[in-house]
Amino acid sequence: MWIPISDAPISCFPHFEVAAESGDWIVVDKGAPLIVHPSNGKKEPNLLEGVEALLSYEIANGASLSLVNRLDRETSGLTLIAKNKAAARQLGRAMQRRLMHKEYLAVVQGWPEWTETTCTAPILRQGDVAESRIWVKQAVHPAGKACTTVFRTERAWNTPHGPLALVRCIPETGRMHQIRVHLAHLGHPIIGDKIYGPSEECYLEYIQRGWSRELEEQLLLPRHALHACRLEFPFDEKVFTAEAPLPEDMRKLLEVQKENSVR
């Protein structure tokens, strides 16, 4: 479903698909870049307004939507939304108790030496311990909050831009930018990541001037190649599973290089 565009930002893909639904909740596959809810008073398309339009009949009959999990603007994939307050409470408790299982796919720089590894590096906001011109930027630091991410290398291949790999990411905690920070910490930043990729200057330049040929040469993609592909969650004593295929931009990157796959 497409979300009507009014005063759109520099880059926006206002699109989502329904991945699973019940009378109490809906799981949608969010496009990227797209924010999940209005922020900073800016008027731009967002996922919540799009789902509200889709469920306008249910809302007119008493439904009240609540986001259960949130994705970054540039992260695509599965987002769970409760349709009523009781469902929001139940799903919120499941989230707090870490009863939800989430999996992501990322295209990263380099060939990981590991087939599977677990990163437990603690994370905090970089500005709390060092200078950073990006307020939201996170960093690995001994004083940070504990967090854990499991990574599995699914495929690696050669490209004109150097070796790349497709990595499955399974976060066991939910810190801000956790997957992106952990992959960069392991030496394999996500393709297209303006903050944790080649240089944070990429983010600052993008904010000031928008996407450019120079940024494309450094980042390859105009958004970071991270996709929430699988979500398992309990509800009313049952476990539900939703899956979302790779979006077109990440799929094309893989298709272009599939003949050069090395493992």
- List, by residue number, the catalytic residues: 72
Q: Is 85 exposed, middle or buried (0-12, 13-18, 19+ CB in 10 A)?
A: exposed
Q: State whether residue 56 is helix, strand or coil.
A: helix
CB 128, CB 145: distance < 8 Å: no
Give the Cα separation of 178 and 166 in Å (integer). 17
Q: Is 158 exposed, middle or buried (0-12, 13-18, 19+ CB in 10 A)?
A: middle
- Cis peptide preceding 33, ω within 30 of 0: yes
Both tokens of 252, joined, read: 């094309």
Give the Cα separation of 168 and 151 in Å (integer). 6
User: Which DSSP state fits 128?
Assistant: G
CB 191, CB 220: distance < 8 Å: yes
Give the Cα separation of 83 and 25 in Å (integer). 5
User: Which DSSP state fits 260?
Assistant: G
CB 30, CB 77: distance < 8 Å: yes
